[in-house]
Amino acid sequence: MCAIVGVFGAKKASTVAYYSLFAMQHRGQEATGISVANGENIAVYKKKGMVADVFSQATLDNLEGTCAVGHNRYSTAGSDSAGDSQPVFAKYKLGEISVVHNGNLINKQEVRQELIDKGAIFQTDMDTENIIHLIAKSQEDSLVDRIKDMLTKIEGAYCLAIQSRSKMFVIRDRFGIRPLSLGKFKDGGYMVASETCAFDLVGAKFVRDVKPGEMLTFEEGQEPQSEMVFENVDFHPCAFEYIYFARPDSDIDGKNVYAMRLEMGKALARETPVEIDLVLPVPDSGVAAAKGYADELGVPFEMGIVRNHYVGRTFIEPTQAIRDLKVKMKLSPIKHLIKGKRVAIIDDSLVRGTTSTQIVRMLLDAGAKEVHMRIAAPEIKYPCRYGIDTPTKAELISANYTVEEIREKIGATSLGFLSIEGLTQSLGNERNYSLVSFDGKYFAGGNEDTTGCAGGC
């Protein structure tokens, strides 16, 4: 779920990268970093924390150069130390290199052990460090050929921005699991970012999405050079980008996130209608789906739960104790709207059940007559291997209980999920979406993984 950005040919590339990462803060809050190349060397600055807290104007002024790559970290597993933040930088035979990565390498352990057996020394738990070792140890003569060699040895989900002292290379895996888009500045510079909302903030014009299996090479004085580095492209964009990850104003692979969530809400209403007085969203990612649900049923929609925006997203916090506390800190009901009403509360997904239980209890305490929980996504029954924090089946409530048992556990009057068919119809059946969390069909890397994600990006 990390955010990456790559900027090339911009006068103040570090500032562009900073604002781009700020726009994509929702994709990771644990650490952030930027590296800048000026043709002669690469400078890196990264720390734990959020973008606005980590970078000062003085720091950005010291990162001089026209090429920058940046990263917001959301860890799928492993350490949350500052050492596990990105970009990952190294000096090697051909010079200096810096790498940022969004995704999860499913063969991380096998590759790492092979590298260790050959004498490699690792300093982090990140799968991203595998990438830089593979490039450094390749016997190919040029960096571009070393990158291609590296790509033959890794499997899984990845969007990469790789920076040398004078060039930038951008790659999207052959499945296109994670999003990546190309933008252009009026003065001719270019950027890539995980979400198009970053373009809007820095004044870049969307050009197109990076194709699955494509590598873009950026070099001074030239237009970006495109090369398909995989013969067998099998496009599986992640449905969770539309359900939860992305900002509603972003366009992911040509589809607006808000519009897709609205359609999911309408489909949910058709599949799980209920007699109610009011529809409420769980802010903020449940808003569009709740609007669609209310519109389809012809029931009033109200923002009946107030969110404290100074508290981070509970899903990406690393410990359950912090998640529990932050639900109470983050959400507060408007009792005037809720008292005596039959309400439907719409959320984007249900993972562990902790948040849903507290929200139902909160609404009942506020005087709701009935609380009908509706989830604008299918039941999450399988761990994801491609970069979502659902480590084991034991933590997934839908993997262990029936819908009725979950309803009893969370205390709702009724509970309904969007079907897989309803989801795919909402998104458009013309694509073969990655639905592994819902159907357990692992198209990359073989069979179901019950141990969960092993990567650290």
Burial class (CB in 10 A: 0-12, 13-18, 19+), 94: middle
pTM > 0.75: yes or no: yes
Longest dimension (CA), the chain: 73
Query: pLDDT at residue 328 above 90?
Result: no
Query: pLDDT at residue 379 above 90?
Result: yes
pLDDT tens-place string over residues 228-263: 999 889 999 999 999 999 999 999 999 999 999 999
Domain ranges of the chain: 3-235, 259-439
pLDDT bin (cut points 50, 70, 90) of residue 78 is very low
Give the class (CATH, top level) of 3-235: alpha beta
Find the mean pLDDT for residues 193-207: 97
Residue 196 and residue 241 in contact, taking contact as beta carbons nearer than 8 Å: no
Q: In this predicted structure, what is the pLDDT of residue 123? A: 87
pLDDT tens-place string over residues 405-456: 999 999 999 999 999 999 999 999 889 999 999 998 877 654 444 333 323 3
Q: In this predicted structure, what is the pLDDT of residue 89? A: 96
Rounded percentage of the chain residues whose pLDDT exceeds 90: 77
Q: Where do we find the tokens 């050079």?
A: 225
pLDDT tens-place string over residues 283-300: 888 999 999 999 999 999
Catalytic residue, chosen from 2, 67, 238, 457, is 2
What are the angstrom distances between the C-alpha of 157 and each of 7, 392, 448, 449?
A: 22, 19, 15, 15
Q: In this predicted structure, what is the pLDDT of residue 444? A: 65
Question: Mutual orientation of helices 257-271 and 287-297 as an angle, nearest 10°?
Answer: 40
Q: In this predicted structure, what is the pLDDT of residue 125? A: 83
pLDDT greater at residue 33 or residue 1: 33
Whether 384 sits among the annotated catalytic residues: the reply is no
Find the mean pLDDT for residues 186-204: 96
pLDDT bin (cut points 50, 70, 90) of residue 319 is low
Average pLDDT of the chain? Answer: 90
| Residue partners of 165: CB distance under 8 A and separation at least 6 | 37, 38, 39, 40, 41, 42, 95, 96
- Please give, one letter per residue, the 3-state secondary structure of the chain: CCEEEEEECCCCHHHHHHHHHHHCHHHCCCEEEEEEECCCCEEEEEEECCHHHHCCHHHHHHCCCCEEEEEEECCCCCCCCHHHCCCEEEEECCEEEEEEEEEEECCHHHHHHHHHHCCCCCCCCCCHHHHHHHHHHCCCCCHHHHHHHHHCCCCEEEEEEEECCCEEEEEECCCCCCCCEEEECCCCCEEEECCCHHHHHHCCEEEEECCCCEEEEEECCCCCEEEECCCCCCCCCECHHHHHHCCCCCEECCEEHHHHHHHHHHHHHHHCCCCCCEEEECCCCCHHHHHHHHHHHCCCECCCEEECCCCCCCCCCCCHHHHHHHHHHHEEECHHHHCCCEEEEEECCCCCCHHHHHHHHHHHHCCCCEEEEEECCCCCCCCCCCCCCCCCHHHCHHHHCCHHHHHHHHCCCEEEECCHHHHHHHHCCCCCCECHHHHCCCCCCCCCCCCCCCCCC
| Residue partners of 65: CB distance under 8 A and separation at least 6 | 13, 14, 36, 37, 38, 39, 43
Looking at CATH, the fold of the domain delimited by 259-439 is given as Rossmann fold (3.40.50)
